[in-house]
Amino acid sequence: MTDGIHIPREVAEAEGVPEDLDAGVVGPYRFPDPRRRRIAGWIYLATAVLLAPLAADLPLVWGGVALAIVLGVWHLTAAWPLAIDQEEALSGAAAAVDFTVGHASAAVTFVGWRSRPQWHVVLYSADEPPSRRALVQLDGVTARLTGEVYTEDVPPLAADPRPGN
């Protein structure tokens, strides 16, 4: 079985689910590497170089050249390598908690003015229903924990507030 959501063929056909929604058909999703920012950085710097001769004749162009240089440098300094993927983030987070993990979810965020990637992983215990949950934050470049691991007991479900239940 492939990673991702798998919809049995007979269910997908009966419900009219398009193939692009079945991850088993499309394949696993990989978060794009932030190093792609280097492309934009070099484009901004090349634009600044191309506009520089015009700036001598048109003083207003200097503002655009300066902006292109600033954006180019920022894109180059914010082009962090994403050293771990979602699966490695989930594994690293599971190793950081003191309970057996059931369901889990990972999302990448960006921190600071240089947009350093950071994985935020939410974990639930394997018992049904889950009795514990945790939030683990991992640095996307070094795979190290970025701070405290937050764990807590899951509060019991309240009675169904709908009338008649």
**pLDDT for the residue 164:** 59
Domain boundaries, the chain: 1-30, 34-77, 86-153
The tens digit of pLDDT for each residue in 99-146 reads 888 888 888 899 999 999 999 999 998 888 888 899 999 999 888 888
Q: Please give the model's pTM, rounded to 2 decimal places.
A: 0.68
The tens digit of pLDDT for each residue in 5-33 reads 566 777 777 777 666 665 555 556 667 78
Q: What is the mean pLDDT of the chain?
A: 82
User: Cα(66)–Cα(60) distance, rounded to whole angstroms?
Assistant: 11
**pLDDT for the residue 10:** 78
For range 70-91, the mean pLDDT: 91
Helix axis angle, 37-57 relative to 61-77, nearest 10°? 160
SS (H, E, C) the chain: CCCCCCCCHHHHHHHCCCHHHCHHHHCCCCCCCHHHHHHHHHHHHHHHHHHHHHHHHCCCHHHHHHHHHHHHHHHHHCCCCCCCCHHHHHHHHHHHCCCCEEEEEEEEEEECCCCEEEEEEEEEECCCCCCEEEEEEEECCCCCECCCCEEEECCCCCCCCCCCC
User: Cα(77)–Cα(54) distance, rounded to whole angstroms?
Assistant: 27
